[in-house]
Amino acid sequence: MSRKNSLFQKLVNQLLEDIDKKYQVGDILPSDVALAELFGVSRTTVRKAIEYLEEQEVVLKSDSGKVLLSMPKKEHFFDVSKLSKPKEKIVEEYFLGLIQSGALKSGDKFSELELARQSESSTVVVREFLIRFSRFGLIEKNPRSQWQMKKFDENFIDQLHELRYLFEMNSLSHFMSLPDSSDYWGQLNELFIDHKNLMPRMHDDYESFPKLDERFHFLLQEARPNPFISEFYTVISFIYHYHYQWERNKERERNTVAVKEHIDIMACMLMKDYQGATIALAKHLDTAKNMLKNTALL
């Protein structure tokens, strides 16, 4: 099989919707190039779609341009709902599922072919996904042999933590040197208040913490974005999510501690107490590391 013409089908639908919204019978549609630009596809695809609309007698090409013959009807739309997602996505979901469900554990080997069969795609797609995913350092492979889940041991966690520590401290230092006039201070303050508000409700509402967590660590980075660092964060959060899913029961406890620690850090930051913030952040990261160790290492 080759690729599916999903782009084409989606475009037709978008086009029909757009027509329905903006034009009336007799109007002239924009040029190919304009449409291609508008929908972010190539002109080739636009032309295919228009051609289809001609067949459906919605559009007629005349000397003056593409004339709208009749308004779109339901039957002109494609049923795009069960168009499969891009294969890459499917494989990704399937594979991450395997990890998350614990079917693939630290040290396990697995085969491309098997994955391809189970995710109903081809070995090429699988392999390309795995190569891409391997940058996260969770899987690896030697020539002529199978892929293998990296051993997730204490050493690995320490190395991960070392980087995280470096990066977050770096972000903190840059944040602290922002001028008072910077908008980020305002955002930090808001976040601080949100934390304060959540705290007393923590016992029942502990599940809304992760959002705050993300906002916090993201805000720190955002002030001085660096794509190398951001990418690393994807790994971090993936790993944490992966490992914490097991121990849902301890989640409330974990989050409660974390909220407090966040508050400590932000309090220092807002008071421009760089040293205090450093200490608080170090403590927070350390707690995180130890919790991860307790959870992930049996």
Partner DNA sequence: GTAGGGTTTTTAATATATAAAAAACAACAT
Partner DNA sequence: ATGTTGTTTTTTATATATTAAAAACCCTAC
Compare residues 4 and 105 and give the one whose CB is closer to DNA.
4
Neighbours of 16 (CB within 10 A): 21
196 binds DNA (CB under 7 A): no
Structure tokens at 128: 């390309």
Select the residue interacting with DNA from 94, 96, 106, 127 (CB under 7 A): 127
Q: Tokens at residue 1, please?
A: 């099989």
Q: Report the SS3 class of residue 194.
A: helix
147 Rama sector, left if φ>0, alpha if ψ -120 to 50, beta otherwise: beta
* Interaction between residue 167 and a copy of itself (CB under 8 A): yes
CB of 86 to a copy of itself, least distance (A): 8
Distance CA 71, CA 288 (A): 59
269-288 footprint of DNA as x/- string (CB under 7 A) = --------------------
Residue 286: CA count within 13 A, CB half-sphere: 6
Site for DNA, residues 52 to 71, rule: CB under 7 A = 61, 65-66
Task: With beta carbons less than 8 A apart as the criterion, state whether 262 and 195 touch.
Answer: yes
From the list 43, 290, 189, the residue with the least C-alpha distance to 197 is 189
Residues in the chain, how many?
A: 298
Q: How far is the CB of 269 from DNA (least distance, A)?
A: 43
Nearer to a copy of itself, 86 or 210 (CB): 86
Residue 75: count of CB within 10 angstroms of its CB: 6
Question: Cβ closer to a copy of itself: 149 or 202?
Answer: 149
Instruction: Select from 21, 227, 248, 298 the one that contacts a copy of itself (CB under 8 A).
Output: 227
Binding site for DNA (CB under 7 A): 1-8, 31-34, 41-45, 47-48, 61, 65-66, 86-88, 111-114, 121-125, 127, 143-147
Binding site for a copy of itself (CB under 8 A): 7, 86, 124, 127-128, 131-132, 135, 137, 143-144, 159-160, 162-163, 166-167, 170, 226-229, 232
